[in-house]
Amino acid sequence: MRRQIAVLTLIAALALIIVPAYAATIQIDPHSSGYPSPIMLSSPATFNISDVSKTDYDPHILLVMTVASYNGLSGDVVVTWTGGSTTFHKADFTLAAFGVGNKIPPGVKADYTVASCADHLGVSGNDVYYAFGPFLANKINSTKQEFTITASSTALRMLVYAIGRKDSPTNELNNNVPHTQPGLVVPEIATLALIASPFAGLGLYTIRRRKK
């Protein structure tokens, strides 16, 4: 009996891990191909968003940054796309405390764990700040849409995710970008410092985890 319970517990745990990974189908490019190393771009940074298998209504953008990035903000974070824009003031960002089970944004089915976001940002075990709101003029489908993020901070490190209502405009916000494919905006000075790097011609690079 104990063995059966252990097996069922393991299956349930795997289901919690695997199902969200397959359900998340929104794609933001560029993104990292290897967990947990996000792509790093200068600000302003331009992305493409699409969904090759689903149609997502009421798209929302989720921006997650480090505490240092929030403290160093010197202006608004502006997201622009063809035909519109949205502006996040510093006061629009909310502190999300690190802790077991803590998720962002709250009350949304397709959420992210604070721990995962902190790991992607290179500040594992720490709190983060996030802003969440509607963006884009159209629903997300296989046609790529371009959007640009402009932000200024003395220590800018910010994840870029998107969440939408899969298949129906009346559904919950139930689809998102896979946790393993974050985009990240960094200050222009950080990109310029890479001129001598073999990756400089690509205009992007990845964070490498420190070896212990």
Checking if the pLDDT of 3 tops 70, the result is no
Q: For residue 158, what pLDDT band results from cuts at 50, 70 and 90?
A: very high
Tell me, what's the pLDDT at 208?
Answer: 46
* Residue listed under structure tokens 């903000």: 73
Tell me, what's the pLDDT at 202?
Answer: 38
Which tens digits make up the pLDDT trace of 33-90?
Answer: 888 889 999 999 999 999 999 999 999 999 999 999 999 999 999 999 999 999 999 9
Checking if the pLDDT of 98 tops 80, the result is yes
CA dist 64 and 31 (Å) reads 15
Q: What percent of the chain has pLDDT over 90?
A: 73
Q: For residue 172, what pLDDT band results from cuts at 50, 70 and 90?
A: very high
Peptide bond into 178 cis (omega under 30): no
Q: Are 51 and 141 in contact (CB under 8 A)?
A: yes
Q: Which amino acid is at 4?
A: Q
Structural domain spans, the chain: 26-206
Lowest mean pLDDT among 38-42, 131-135, 203-207: 203-207
Q: Are 123 and 116 in contact (CB under 8 A)?
A: no
Higher-confidence residue of 5 and 30: namely 30
Tell me, what's the pLDDT at 118?
Answer: 96
Average pLDDT over residues 182-191: 77
Q: Which amino acid is at 35?
A: Y
